[in-house]
Amino acid sequence: ETAPGTERLWVTTDRLHRRTCPSTECGSVGRLALGEGVTVREIQNGWARISDSYDAACRGGDSGMVETGNAACTPDNGIEGGRLAEWVSASFLSSTPPADAPRR
């Protein structure tokens, strides 16, 4: 078993949203592509946190980091104290890189 924050997993779908909290209701700060590798810091209810928290660029109550969906700088959107961490659905991650994917 690997220590938390050291497990490397690979994306198994064409586009995987990087969300502000572990829910499809949360805003997307971008996407990962098929074959991209991520370091998983924790897993919670089928969601993997793939970043440490960072500045959410909150202005006027909305995050400048969110590209699509819910941009509210609120705890229920995963943004607390003006900071967010990125989450992806763990069901689209694999411990082995997809054979047909470019290595990233």
pLDDT in tens, the chain (104 residues): 445 566 899 999 999 999 999 999 999 999 999 999 999 999 999 999 999 999 999 999 999 999 999 999 999 999 999 999 999 999 999 998 878 766 55
- What's the pLDDT score for residue 45? 94
| pTM, to two decimals | 0.89
In the numeric block, the tokens 């793939």 are attached to 50
Cα 20 to Cα 44: distance, rounded to the nearest angstrom: 14
CA dist 60 to 20, 82, 91, Å? 17, 11, 34
